[in-house]
Structure 1
């Protein structure tokens, strides 16, 4: 058994606790039994001394013969002005000054370890100042007997309790051993193994559920990573094939200058596509909720949005699309300004690309009920209702046969979703085919932002 094992630690704790409880109980038991015995002796001697005092008060000192006391093995003496005026024949106490003027009982075991002597003193003021001293020898030392019994029984009880404790701990640790064995079987190639949750409703069952949930999330994460790798490989294959083909054809034989120029332009175009895709993927992986907040600053969303609009006006004009701002209020948000710029840019880019010619794009940015709200609405081709849940997946594009002329890798909305989640925001997308798409984004505007805005 390893000293650092859980079983050993629990067993040590159990033994320590049981030992403390057992010996504490033994001490209290010994104390109460001893007090009970002493109290009984004290009461007997008190009533005997009180009877003597009653006779003294009634001037019957001469009638006191100590007959009762002698029959009960008690030696007695009556003291007046620190002198013995009457005593029984067997009264042998000499150092009376140690006891008189103290209304209490004294015990000593000077004569033997197996017996004790009891000395009781009753002081009185009437009919004169005096004391009655009773001395009982050879009382059985029952407290000593109890101490010896407990001294023998305590180790036996402790051994029995330790044995029971080991069995109980083994039984309690069975589910933990099962969890350990199952955990050892789980690896990158075997993530379907689950821990049994048939045990009673307790912390171990909760641990099993938590472990199974962790394995499930790990499995889903690996599946997402594999899909991501497959998607990246698939998306990179096309531009690489184009580049490779153009180079191969150019090297086969001498060609006209114009041919080489066209080939280089195609290679350059495909290279830029790959560059943009890599940049987009880096955006998806660079930031996490653990490191994003250190990049936050107080951003003027109005200025960021206006800068983005200015950049995309040229592309909108090409399709005779007008960008109209319906509601525009001063809004501040603690955020990563670069990511917010990418968010607005991607949404504007999508709205323009998927809008028909001679249409409009409507923008709104305002604050309401402690929330910052951004709405972008286009009059584009729309998205089928059944495909809406998928459009934020990486590399997903709605039926490319419907929009072959629109370039992209299907990362735009995935990046937007990721940015919103990093800023603890929410996004809702509504769309209708041949009518258009509306994207509504909300962020929490905390008190700090509101105070800065008001100032």
Structure 2
């Protein structure tokens, strides 16, 4: 029962499909073109045959004037009866012939012309007065068509009316016969066009089927598929390009969502376990109010840490997905660095570190003020954290070929070479030999990498264990605008 219902549904879907409509359009256009071409051909052939009939009648008219001559004031046929060719020509001319004087008195009338009917005296006088031969169409009693040439012949002031006829019925039937044969062959041609149109429509729609199949595979969860462009540069290539770009964005978004879920579950698992363990221990062992208070305070600190993790993750996801719009303006980042470094003076003095800014004049770059502060703050925080007492941290700014170079270097503990390719990944932290209670979330350098990319630049790192680290951020050359104008407001967010 279900199969019997499914088959008509498939047929109906095929009949309503785009391929069927395209094939039907091909057939309809070709049918109209073929029928129109047939009628145009018939009309052209009719005109050619009519001109040919006129030329034949002209030759018959000249031949008649050659054989019909005046002798002793009368018109007579002059030819050699013994000459078969001349005898046949005169006999042919006299088959459809009418000869009268100018008053309409019949001098000679063939049986063939009598079948066309008599000419009126008005018609005869009109031809005599016109002095030029005319051609008319006549029909006999059977309906057959004749082309008749009427004119005059003169001799010594006398005028004679002469009319000869040429049967053209068979000639006129040729275009209709050919058109009939042609129209009978049109269905065969249309049948061929149906198959060709069906094939061409299927070939033209093949990229659309690929798009549909890829979309079905995407619906099944496979976002890595792409459709190869055909290289023709037509509308289908534009559609394929837009579809592939959509898939790339979808794949990137799904990867970001998956990465966010993994990162959040990984980073929140440990604080939640710690909080649960602390509360369970307090519930089982705490006896005084102070012990309960201490356990709750420790749990609140861990909850605050969890909130910071979630907030930083959300901000990084928004940044990498393009939801954070930079408000860039041309600024002297050497001046910005001086202002920001002054905020880290107390922390560096407490740790006994030397913190200096090295800049030989202004260093212009087109940056977002808030995001630049976040980038430099993250680099300074790492440098101060991993540099021992008595160490040195420098912020160097210079203009190189128009581009702004920001370098943050220290002589701290450094990073092993095996860890360098991963330092800009989320939550990546170099394994330390001694536990660090102030260990960060592992998101600071991920923010630095994103901010550099968002400004059209890049970040590089060089480091050796025991020798220190050097982070170089390169901002592209700014556009030539007036840097003294007012600075627009920037994006806002948490410093990580």
Do these two structures clear the TM 0.5 threshold for a shared fold by scoring above it? yes
Report the Cα distance in structure 2 between the residues aligned to 1:76 and 1:446, rounded to whole angstroms. Answer: 103
Hey, what does 1:30 align to over in structure 2? 42
Which deviations, in whole Å up to 9, do the C-alpha atoms of 1:228-274 show, x marking residues without a partner? Answer: 423322211222233333333444433374x5665455334323322
Provide the rounded CA distance (Å) in 2 between the counterparts of 1:378 and 1:357.
12
Q: Is the aligned partner of 1:310 residue 2:322?
A: no
Deviation, 1:281, is 0.9
Classify 1:290/1:200 alpha carbon distance in 2 versus 1 (closer, same or farther; 3 Å).
closer
The 1:119–1:19 alpha-carbon spacing in structure 2 relative to 1, beyond 3 Å, is same
Q: Which stretch shifts more, 136-145 or 213-222?
A: 213-222
Query: Aligned pair 1:283/2:283, yes or no?
Result: no
Which is worse superposed, 268-277 or 34-43?
34-43
Contact 1:323 1:361 in 2 (8 A): yes
Work out the CA distance in 2 between the residues paired with 1:336 and 1:325.
Answer: 22
CA distance in 1, matches of 2:16, 2:340: 61
From 229, 233, 240, the equivalent of 2:261 is 229
Residue matched to 1:452: 482
> Match of 2:482, SS?
helix
Residue deviations 1:387-445, cap 9 Å, x none?
A: 33322221111224367355112111212222333333333333333333333333444
Give the 3 Å change call, closer, same or farther, for CA 328–382 of structure 1 in structure 2: farther
Matched, 1:360 2:413: no
CA deviations on 1:132-157 (whole Å, 9 max, x unpaired) are: 99864434222222222233322342
The Cα of 1:384 is off from its aligned counterpart by 3.0
Name the CA distance, whole Å, in 2 between partners of 1:357 and 1:369.
36
CA apart distance, 1:359: 3.0
1:105 and 1:318 mapped to 2: Cα distance?
126
Q: Deviations over 1:364-387 (max 9, x none)?
A: 445554544433333333333333
Structure 1's 164 and 269: CA in aligned 2 closer, same or farther, altered over 3 A?
same
* Partner in structure 2 of residue 16 of structure 1: 28
Partner of 2:450: 418
Is 1:321 the counterpart of 2:354 in the alignment?
yes
Residue 387 of structure 1 pairs with residue 433 of structure 2: no
| Cα distance in 2, alignment partners of residues 8 and 329 from structure 1 | 70
Query: 3-state DSSP class of the match of 2:415?
Result: coil
1:203-230 per-position Cα deviation (integer Å, ceiling 9, x unaligned): 9999999989987986676466434423
Q: Supply the distance in 2 between the matched residues of 1:121 and 1:307 (Cα, whole angstroms).
A: 116
Which structure is larger by alpha-carbon Rg, 1 or 2? 2
Is the counterpart of residue 441 in structure 1 residue 473 in structure 2?
Answer: yes
Q: 5 Å matches for 1:101-120?
A: 118=147
What are the equivalent positions in structure 2 for 1:55-454 lying under 5 Å apart? 71=92, 90=113, 94=123, 118=147, 136-139=166-169, 140-141=171-172, 142-166=174-198, 169=201, 180=212, 184=216, 187=219, 191=222, 222=254, 225-252=257-284, 253-255=286-288, 257=290, 259=291, 262-263=294-295, 265-287=297-319, 291-293=323-325, 296-298=327-329, 300=331, 302=333, 304-319=336-351, 320-333=353-366, 336-369=368-401, 371-401=403-433, 404=436, 406-445=438-477, 447=479, 450-453=480-483
SS in 1 for 2:463: strand
Q: What's the offset of the Cα at 1:25?
A: 3.8
Q: Distance in 2 between matches of 1:105 and 1:422?
A: 92
| Closer/same/farther in 2, CA of residues 4 and 260 from structure 1, 3 Å limit | same
Secondary structure of the 1:254 match is coil
Deviation at 1:310, TM superposition (A): 2.6
Residue 127 of structure 1 corresponds to none
Specify whether residues 173 and 268 from structure 1 end up closer, same or farther in structure 2 by C-alpha distance, changes over 3 A only.
same
CA distance in 2, matches of 1:15, 1:251: 85
Q: Alignment length, in residue pairs?
A: 429
| Local SS of the residue matching 2:418 | helix
SS in 1 for 2:168: strand
User: Is 1:191–1:215's contact at 8 Å kept on the other side of the alignment?
Assistant: no
Q: Does the 8 Å CA contact 1:332/1:453 hold for their aligned counterparts?
A: no
Q: How many Å separate the matches in 2 of 1:415 and 1:431?
A: 19
| TM-score normalised per structure 2 | 0.65
Going from structure 1 to structure 2, the CA distance change for 1:161 and 1:256 (only over 3 Å counts) comes to closer
Task: List runs of 5+ in structure 2 lacking aligned partners.
Answer: 1-11, 69-73, 80-85, 152-161, 486-496
Q: Distance in 1 between matches of 2:401 and 2:300?
A: 49
SS at match of 2:395: strand
Answer yes or no: is the 8 Å Cα contact 1:326–1:364 preserved in 2.
yes
Compute the TM-score of the two structures, normalised by the length of structure 1. 0.70
Question: Structure 2 vs 1, CA of residues 428 and 4 (structure 1 numbering), >3 Å: closer, same or farther?
Answer: farther
